Amino acid sequence: MGTVFALHPGQRRRARPLPQQLAELALVVPQVVAHRSARLALAAAATPLSARDRKEFQLMHSEKTEAFAEAWVALWWQAALAQQQLMLALMTGAARATPWSVALDCMRAGVQVLGHGLAPVHRQAMANARRLRQTPLRLLK
């Protein structure tokens, strides 16, 4: 089960495990890239860009910017939380720290940091794949 984290005040969502996020991204990213590449190629041949294409290309940029900004915040927040938890465990002796237990705790924390950082990008890529699957490409006439 993934860890619960806050998105916006009042919202909570479960973070999917990192391997699941990576597997899903491996499947949907090529679909999104293929659709958008085809759309760019078709739009390049059209002299004035259609309003539909202009809107999609602007959306492409803003979605990426927003997802990666959220990812950096999530990475930073989870890393700060992991550092605090590790220091608290070491200071209170709760971890009964051996070099191996500390290394294992650090590894687990690193995977959690990556999972939380990847979550916004994963969420956006999955939403794009769902949306673009329903959007037909318009061929030139």
Q: pLDDT means per 10 residues in the chain (141 residues)?
A: 46 76 94 89 79 86 92 94 87 73 86 92 93 79 54
- Measured CA to CA, the distance from residue 131 to residue 141 in angstroms comes to 24
pLDDT, residue 80, reads 94
pLDDT, residue 65, reads 92
* Count of Cβ atoms closer than 10 Å to residue 9 Cβ: 5
Residues 6+ apart with CB under 8 A from 28: 125, 126, 128, 129
pLDDT, residue 2, reads 43
What are the domain boundaries of the chain? 16-133
pLDDT, residue 71, reads 94
pLDDT, residue 12, reads 57
Whose structure tokens read 């995977």? 111
Residues 6+ apart with CB under 8 A from 35: 132, 135, 137
pTM, whole model, 2 decimals?
A: 0.74
pLDDT, residue 41, reads 85
